[in-house]
Each structure stands twice: as C-alpha cells, then as structure tokens.
Amino acid sequence: VPSTPLVVNAAELLRRPGSDRLVHLEVTPEELGIDDPRLVAGEPVVLDLRLEALTDGILVHGTVRARWAGVCRRCLTDVGGAAVADVEERYQLVLTDPDAFPLVDDQIDLRTVAGQLVLLEMPAAPLCREDCAGLCPICGVDRNTAICECTEAPSDSVWSVLEALRDPDEPAPG
C-alpha cells in the first residue's frame, strides 16, 4: 500500500458499524493524481469527509475543494475562485453496488474519486462576471471600463443589404 494520507485505513471503523470518523486532509494535486493548468500552484486541495461505517463497507461523504485560476474568456482579465465538489461514495468489502469502490485490505483509497470530482467543478471557459462586455473586436479596448468609437458596421451592413434583397417592394439592386 502506497504511503499517502489519501489512503485511509478503515479496519477500526469496519469493526463498529454505525460509527464514524471525520477526516480533514490538505494534499497537493500530485498526491491526488491530478494535473491541470487551472489549479493554483502551491495551493492545497482540501478534503473534509465523514467516513461512516456500514455493515458491508464505508460511506464517504463531504467535500473536496481546490483553488483555480484562469482568464475571462471575453475580456482576458485574471479570474479565479474555489471549486467545491460534493463527495458521496461507497466503498465495499464485497462489491454488490455497481457504483461502489472496492475496499482493498480495509483501505479507503480517496485518490480515485476526489481528484476527478474537483476538476469537474472548475469552469472550462470562465467569465469575470456573467455580463462581461468583453473586448472590442476592432480596437481591443475593454468595454467594461472604456467606451470606444468603433461601430460594428461590417456585419450590420451585410445584414441590411441582405434585408434589402429580400424585400419584394424594393427595386432590384443595379
């Protein structure tokens, strides 16, 4: 068994169904087996879990949280936050539940679930705020903080020409 705080010995719990144990862990992404550019370097991934002994295994529930950072997909300013994933997993001595994980040598291997769950909570295309106005595609100013003189004439004029062509009352161009 590898030496990592994420492999928890559950032998004691398994002897007393109905008992539980709280686990608070702060680990590196490497320890969780995850590698993602959105994870903030040097920030721990934090697990707060309750391990509950059942007659046939252990129920693990709680949260796993990690800090992420990136840039707004519209205006490119730095954004970041905390990703929090709910953990609700069952570990069984003899697998009868198709969604359960095996308890090997009475050990709960938390790496399997926690890493992937927290990655799923990180935004793939973050926004600094829901109504971010973005950058002007012509001059590049940040429209959240500045107003530019650019008009989006190119696309507008294409549409007005098409509208004119579609109008039966309008004389044919040329």
Determine, following the binding rule CB under 5 A, whether residue 104 of this chain makes contact with Zn ion: no
Determine, following the binding rule CB under 5 A, whether residue 158 of this chain makes contact with Zn ion: no
In the region spanning residues 41 to 70, those forming contacts with Zn ion, defined by CB under 5 A, are none
Cα–Cα distance for residue pair 13/57, rounded to 1 Å: 9
Contact 21, 50 (CB under 8 A): yes
CA quadruple 17, 20, 21, 26: dihedral, nearest 10: 100
> CB 130 → Zn ion: shortest distance, Å?
10
Task: Single out the segment in contact with Zn ion by CB under 5 A; choices: 48-56, 60-68, 88-96, 134-142.
Answer: 134-142
Tell me the C-alpha to C-alpha distance, in Å, between residue 159 and each of 4, 34, 136, 171. Answer: 62, 48, 20, 17
Determine, following the binding rule CB under 5 A, whether residue 71 of this chain makes contact with Zn ion: no
Cα–Cα distance for residue pair 33/60, rounded to 1 Å: 19
Determine, following the binding rule CB under 5 A, whether residue 25 of this chain makes contact with Zn ion: no
> CB 161 → Zn ion: shortest distance, Å?
23
Work out which of 11, 150, 162, 165 binds Zn ion, going by CB under 5 A. 150
Tokens of 39: 């994870």
56 membership: H or E segment, kind and range? none
**Of residues 138 and 165, the one with the C-beta less far from Zn ion:** 138
**Of residues 63 and 144, the one with the C-beta less far from Zn ion:** 144
Cα–Cα distance for residue pair 153/6, rounded to 1 Å: 58
**Of residues 104 and 139, the one with the C-beta less far from Zn ion:** 139
Question: Contact residues for Zn ion (CB under 5 A)?
Answer: 72, 74-75, 128, 132, 136, 138-139, 148, 150
